[in-house]
Structure 1
């Protein structure tokens, strides 16, 4: 399993990459599927400049 601080670094990097491609029209939705497993996507339901988190069980 990846160390918690490394997971935070990877999530920060992914978020920064998505911000660069957002074209100022979408925010970022971070979904936690299980501990240590996440997806980040651009989402029209999230205002530009914001990141929202959700947990899926």
Structure 2
């Protein structure tokens, strides 16, 4: 059976080609502010908690 990268070379690097797969995204890639997703600074986390507390129980 031929390897997938030999059958469809336009797909890019597949796991059998020795490189990372195209669809594998780094798990903690930094966003625009340089913070990883889900890793907000403490002040933004406090604001989010206050807003959640304020509007959750209306």
Q: Shorter chain as normaliser: what TM range?
A: under 0.3
TM-score by length of 1: 0.22
Higher strand share: 1
Higher relative contact order (CA 8 A, sep 6+): 1
TM-score by length of 2: 0.21
Higher helix share: 2
Choose 1 or 2 for highest CA Rg.
2
